[in-house]
Amino acid sequence: MWIKIIVCFIAGAGAGLGTGFAGMSAAAVITPMLVTFLGLPAYEAVGIALASDVLASAVSAYTYGKNRNLDIKNGLIMMAMVLVFTMLGSFVSSKVPNTAMGNFSVVMTLILGIKFIVKPVMTTKEKMLSESAKKRVIQSLIAGSLIGFICGFVGAGGGMMMLLILTAVLGYELKTAVGTSVFIMTFTALVGSASHFAIGGAPDWFVLALCVASTFVWARIAAVIANRAKPVTLNRATGVILIVLSAAVLIVNIFV
């Protein structure tokens, strides 16, 4: 019992900080922790992680939106494309042998963390909003398609792919990028968790409740801090958190 509580609290804390600060999917942290330390089946662990993502992403999106750091219009467009092309990518992946990339999401998280420290995202909100509305809609359609296909094909990396493309390709200011990312993840995680439980059956409700509660609390704390932070500070904090979380997950996957 106590082992479950400790593991779920630590997993939820790591996932919540990653979600609130950087829009990182809880699955990247919670899944390996539950599989390694509690012996849960991987499919069930992913379902619990996605369910934890729903409220954590929702409270983060609310916090970012309250501080006007959320692009709802283009976020909805991107979300629709992500959902459609995730299914397409998954179908294509099923037809191609040996496409599994077990640590893809974790390695990408590590690289992105280093990027935020070495080369911070310093785009201002004014510069971001100077782009024409038509251009941003087209960019959202293309970005959503690309993110969805990669996530469906590889099976991982949604949150980090969104953050990378929103900041590096679409020129989003960091806070708005994270806010838009967690807004999209709220709905994609809801669909994903519902399908997992529908297919795989009911999860361990005690573990689910602990992970959801811990992730929710820490995501809220991280989102409040992130929205008050200066751009340079937020970049560095985001980078450090991504590096620490990705390194911890890699260690768990390799050595434990």
**153: Cα separation from own chain's centroid:** 17
Could you report the per-residue pLDDT of 35-74, keeping only the tens digit for each?
888 888 877 888 898 889 899 999 999 999 999 999 888 8
**The residue count for the chain:** 256
Output the six-digit token pair for 244: 């620490």
Q: CA-CA distance, 185 to 61, in Å (whole number)?
A: 9
Output the six-digit token pair for 130: 């100077």
CB burial of residue 232 (10 Å; 0-12, 13-18, 19+): exposed
Give the H/E segment covering residue 58.
Answer: helix 42-66
- What is the residue-level pLDDT of the chain in tens, covering all 256 positions? 788 999 999 999 988 998 998 888 777 788 888 888 888 887 788 889 888 989 999 999 999 999 999 988 888 988 898 888 877 766 665 565 544 444 566 777 778 788 888 888 777 777 776 777 788 888 888 888 887 777 666 555 567 778 888 887 788 888 998 999 899 888 888 887 887 788 778 888 999 999 999 999 999 999 999 999 888 888 888 888 888 887 877 777 676 5
Q: For 108-134, b where at least 16 C-beta lie within 10 A, e where not — what string?
A: bbbebbebbeeebbebeeeebeeeeee
Alpha helices, DSSP H, located in 98-228: 104-118, 125-129, 133-154, 158-164, 174-200, 205-228
